[in-house]
Chain A
């Protein structure tokens, strides 16, 4: 499978394995660089994406941009992993923040006060 050729003037910034970085991380990285370069993405194989770039100011796309791009890709992958790992607890804490009831420990809402589930009435003496 050959990718579609980029427009004239674009140089190959990097080819990346989508099973390593993930499309989400690749696109977030590209978005972040759209102030410095124009970007074009092309899928070369089912697991390989190529990114082409042309500098906005007309200069050559140098090693500094390439290096920054690749490092940012790693960071975006890590961010994506952390977000996926913590999504459930994030949704819970945001829901709890705006809820009237206690979503985390409903025992405090439905428990019988005579059973004193939180031990409030117990003396430490």
Chain B
């Protein structure tokens, strides 16, 4: 068959396609990021965007099939793209099913550290009246077992929760001897300074994991986290070693909090984690609660400084990965999961609606129930705006179905918040009514001056720039972070 007769048989190009919902953001003077309703993305230049929205794109143009395949447009009347988008949307919002899955038990406010950025109200180790009682623990557990969620995580917090290990032992023991069919995981958030072998045996028997704080090398960690003796770093390393010995490497994870001192040590902090065998590091800014508010002058910084620190640390982490040393940055991994997959992450701080109450809840030592850890911290600062009730006074329905949870859910659906409604990063981000209230005076918040917005915009934009400009080198690393393993050959996987 001749070429000319083949060309004669091709159907004429059409421009009668229909747009599917999408948002866009200009990344540079001629580079535009398109993002559809479920977070699938495509980079195009200005001319393609113009042709797309003015219905001048022809079906025989190379970009047409990319835009159709990624659900930015559809052939007239075709419903399959809509069904596929609906399925992905449902998957993205799957964190809503089962309702509250993370239950935080603040078993004591007592603590032997005086961390500069401490978000909670802490008291000295001899003040036992700030311990959760067995009766309060039992009532909180009754509420937890009333929840619809089949998979639950109980996180023991403080203060320093090991100082009230008896209550931890009681809660875990009661669940173990009960008849619940729920699958319950336990984690203890501890500074490890009061760890005993008996506690480790108990944790091993009941498969309890540990989360600790490690701010970096000793000079950074000990300055951020003073305690009598000034030896927090030494105790932390010793505790990590003992936990690993008893529970295995998977039995412990670590988090860091960035202070002004940390800003000048990004590589040293990453090296500290690597040197201790951690495969991930979570680069977190300070939050505007508790002691961090009082010490802001000493340890605080503006969000631009944090973003500079974050990018430098992330660049170093990526450089290490390219040299064959596997370590992931947790916040990037969460955002990349949202960018590159349709799956929900379960990270309550970056959800729409936010996880406050509907994803996570905190039971304070005195039985008060809060929509989030942050709202409990706010209460310790004297403002009980987001208190949902008390385990001794209110029913499950009153606590979990009340006006406070509803107001927070309403105020954190970024699909309808000013500034978020049209944002290209909407599918990757979330709302935080409690933080808005604390930092800006109301639960809706003001996006242009929001640190939360600036932080997330900065990080998400940086990740997209890396994907667009250096995708060949970096996509195998990013994909390996999604599966928790070293990069494999990943040809054919589109960004």
Binding site for B on A (CB under 8 A): 28, 31-36, 75-76, 78-79, 81-83, 85-87, 89-90, 92-94, 96-98, 104-105
Q: How many A-B residue pairs have CB under 8 A?
A: 68
Q: What's the dominant secondary structure at chain A's contact region?
A: helix
Nearest neighbor of B18 in chain A, beta-carbon distance: A89
Known A78-B53, A104-B82: A97·B93 in contact at CB below 8 Å: yes
Contact B85 A32 (CB under 8 A): no
Contact call B89/A97, Cβ cutoff below 8 A: yes
- Of the A-B pairs whose beta carbons lie under 8 Å apart in the complex, a sample of 9, sorted by A's number, is A35-B448, A82-B21, A82-B23, A85-B19, A92-B86, A93-B21, A93-B82, A97-B89, A105-B83
Chain A residues with CB under 8 A of B22: 82, 86
A36 CA to B478 CA, complexed, in Å: 35
Inter-chain CA distance A93–B18, complex, in Å, is 15
Query: Within the complex, which residue of A31, A34, A35, A79 is in contact with B24, where a contact is CB–CB below 8 Å?
Result: A79
Q: What's the interface size class on B, roughly?
A: 20 to 34
Q: Which of B442-491 contact A (CB under 8 A)?
A: 446-449
Which B residues are closer than 8 A to A by beta carbons? 18-24, 26, 37, 53, 79, 82-83, 85-87, 89-90, 93, 418-419, 422, 446-449
Bound complex: CA of A78 vs CA of B422, how far in Å? 11
Residues of A within 8 A of B24 (CB): 75, 78-79
User: In the complex the two chains form, is A76's CB within 8 Å of B422's CB?
Assistant: yes
> Which residues from chain A contact B90 at a C-beta distance below 8 Å?
97-98
CB <8 Å contact, B26 and A75: yes
The residue among A35, A36, A85, A93 with the most chain B CB atoms within 10 A of its own CB is A93
Q: Is the CB of A82 within 8 A of B448?
A: no
Residue of A nearest to B88 (CB): A97
Residue of B nearest to A91 (CB): B21
State A34–B83 Cα separation when bound (angstroms).
39
Cα–Cα, bound, A104→B419 (Å)? 31
Contacts of B446 in A (CB 8 A): 34
Q: Which 6 A-B pairs have the closest CB atoms?
A: A35-B448, A96-B86, A97-B89, A97-B90, A86-B21, A90-B21
In angstroms, Cα B247 to Cα A110, docked, is 54
Contacting residues, chain A, for B93 (C-beta < 8 A): 97-98
Query: Is A83 touching B21 in the complex (CB atoms < 8 A)?
Result: yes
Find the B residue at minimum CB distance from A85. B19
Q: What A residues does B20 contact at CB under 8 A? A: 86, 89
Known: A28-B422, A79-B422, A97-B93. A89 touches B82 (CB 8 A): yes
- With a cutoff of 8 Å between Cβ atoms, the chain B residues found around residue A90 in the complex are 21, 37
B19 x A104 contact (CB < 8 A) = no
A31-B448, A75-B26, A90-B21 known, 16 other contacts, Cβ within 8 Å = A28-B422, A31-B447, A75-B24, A76-B422, A82-B19, A83-B422, A86-B20, A86-B21, A89-B21, A89-B82, A92-B82, A93-B89, A94-B89, A97-B93, A104-B83, A104-B86
Q: Is the CB of B19 within 8 A of A31?
A: no
Q: Is the CB of B86 within 8 A of A93?
A: yes
Bound form: Cα–Cα A98–B449 in Å: 33
Give the contacting residue for B79; candidates A87, A94, A105; CB below 8 A. Answer: A105
Cβ of B57 to closest chain A Cβ, rounded Å:
14
What CA separation (Å) do A94 and B383 show in the bound complex?
37
Q: B449 contacts A32, CB within 8 Å? A: no
